[in-house]
Structure 1
Amino acid sequence: MPLINKSIQRLSRLTLSGQIAKQLREDILTGTLLPNLQLNEKELALSFGVSRGPLREAMQRLIQEGLLRSEPHRGVFVAEINETDLTDIYFVRAMIETTAIRKIIISKTFKETSTQLSRISEKMDKAVRANRWKQGSELDFVFHQTLVDSVGSKRLSKTYRTTQTETRLCLHRLMGNYRCSEDLAVEHFRFAEILHKGDLVATLNELEAHFGNPALLMRRAQNDKVS
């Protein structure tokens, strides 16, 4: 019985830290917690009504996701993102997706995967046509995560989820709220169709074209905001 009680306590603590991490993540991604802000453990613990244990677990999770940074003898701060970070994040995303595409085509699962991606593209198209930009941009993330998840590697998927979180932060910090393009669904439909043919070179070329130059896209978006 004592072992069961300890398991329940541990589960409750993990659930609690997950809830705290979710709230902090949302506050960071929406700009409620500003870049370089130092987090005060005592104040946050009081705010959440919890002890420092689950709070520290939540903060450690966000450090691993790249949303927070820990500085020795100073504390924990909200991460700062710049253009170099954005370029690096997209580089890592491209490498992961390239690996996923190679595995999918070699394992002959490209038709099954492309069918899944086409369905997501259909939902994306409906969202964009209805001006539901937030839903459309979210489906963009779902599309790429589904591509990587189809490989069946838990570690690869976990690594990619971290880059997705960092991408969200970059898009919000550097470009404002991410408003997806009206051509978004068309681009994803095209990618799914090319993948369906099992042509490795053509699919990788389409991926490269799809990502484009993130730094250039960021500057254009910032100029659009100013104008």
Structure 2
Amino acid sequence: MGRLGELEPVPRRSTVEIISDELRSAIMYGSLAPGSQLGEADLAARLGVSRGPLREAMQRLVQEGLLRSEPHRGLFVITLAEDDVEDVYLARLAIERAACRMIMARNRGEALVRLTEALQALVTAAGQRDRIAMSDADQAFHQVLVASSGSPRLERMAQTLLVEARMCLNALQEKYPEPDDLVEEHRKLVDAISDGDEERLLRLIEEHMTDSIERLRTPAV
């Protein structure tokens, strides 16, 4: 990304990329439910695309780990259990810690502008007490955090993990943080970046992920 306000060419997206995004979104929101089989003809009709780019997009999601291939049976959406929570969030921690270090070393000012905007969207969703909007804004915040690192590889790795994290939350929605708590957790991250306090930022991102693991693993009362 260039300097703030600098115009850059708009990236062109292929049909395969667009289909991949549609499939990820359907998996994330549960319209393609965990464990469900993907019917090629049905999906091609629903998306209004030919089977060639659809197959390529589905194979891309197999490589990402969101779909699994079973010989002689076809493709299925992965199923995540509570045991997967720790693995997902520890992987996210590794990526987001690296992103935080890069932000503090390279482009803290730009990251602060983008994350402040993402935080405001989370504040708005929390004020509406809309759990889906809160989840969307929460995910968008972390996407911006990783993207602000300037590393396309970290961004690619984070993409699948954020979808998997959302799948965990869909199954365990009653354990999602209270709106005010969620906002405060993210506000502290922005404040640490604003203050230039890398040590505090890294501690907060670790607490954010480990607290999520504990919250999602603890039986609901």
What is the TM-score when the length of structure 1 is the normalising length? 0.78
TM-aligned CA distance change 1:33 to 1:201, over 3 Å:
same
Pick one of 144, 162, 165 that aligns with 2:163.
165
Tell me by how many angstroms 1:69 deviates: 0.8
CA contact (8 A) 2:24 2:163 kept: no
Within the alignment, does 1:125 sit opposite 2:123 as a pair? yes
Q: Tell me the CA shift for residue 175 of structure 1.
A: 3.5
**Deviation for aligned residue 1:167:** 1.4
Cα 1:118/1:34, change in 2 over 3 Å: closer
- The 5-angstrom pairing of residues 86-105 of structure 1 reads 86-105=85-104
Amino acid at match of 2:168: C
CA distance in 2, matches of 1:143, 1:80: 25
| Counterpart check, 1:67 vs 2:46 | no
Count of aligned residue pairs for this structure pair: 210
- Structure 2 equivalent of residue 145 of structure 1: 143
d(CA) in 2 for partners of 1:205 and 1:28? Answer: 31
How far residue 94 of structure 1 moved from its aligned partner, in angstroms, is 0.6
Cα displacement string for residues 162-202 of structure 1 (whole angstroms, at most 9, x for unaligned residues): 21122112221343796763222222111111122222221
- The 5 A counterparts of 1:1-227 are 14-15=14-15, 17-45=16-44, 48=47, 50-107=49-106, 109-175=107-173, 181-220=179-218, 223-224=220-221
Task: Give % identity.
Answer: 40
Deviates more, 1:30-39 or 1:18-27: 18-27
Given the superposition, is the C-alpha separation of residues 138 and 38 from structure 1 closer, same or farther in structure 2, using an over 3 Å criterion? closer
Give 1:22 shift: 4.1
Question: Structure 1 residues 130-139 or 196-205, which shifts more?
Answer: 130-139
Question: CA RMSD for the aligned pairs?
Answer: 2.8
C-alpha separation in 2, matches of 1:49 and 1:205: 47
Cα distance in 2 for residues equivalent to 1:94 and 1:153: 16
Unaligned stretches of 5+ in structure 2?
Answer: 1-11
Shift of the 46–115 alpha-carbon distance from structure 1 to 2, 3 Å rule, reads closer
Answer yes or no: is the 8 Å Cα contact 2:169–2:176 preserved in 1: yes
Bigger Rg, which one:
1
- Partner secondary structure for residue 35 of structure 1: coil
1:81 Cα deviation from its structure 2 partner: 0.6
Partner Cα separation in structure 2 for residue 218 and residue 184 of structure 1:
14
- 1:136–1:37 Cα change, 3 Å: closer
Letter of the structure 1 residue corresponding to residue 220 of structure 2: N
Cα gap change, 1:178/1:190 in structure 2, threshold over 3 Å: closer, same or farther? Answer: closer
1:98, distance to aligned residue in structure 2 (A): 0.8
Secondary structure of the equivalent of 2:167?
helix
More off after superposition, 155-164 vs 130-139: 130-139
- Between 85-94 and 112-121, the greater mean CA deviation after superposition: 112-121
Judging changes above 3 Å, is the alpha-carbon distance between structure 1 residues 204 and 170 closer, same or farther for their aligned structure 2 residues?
A: same
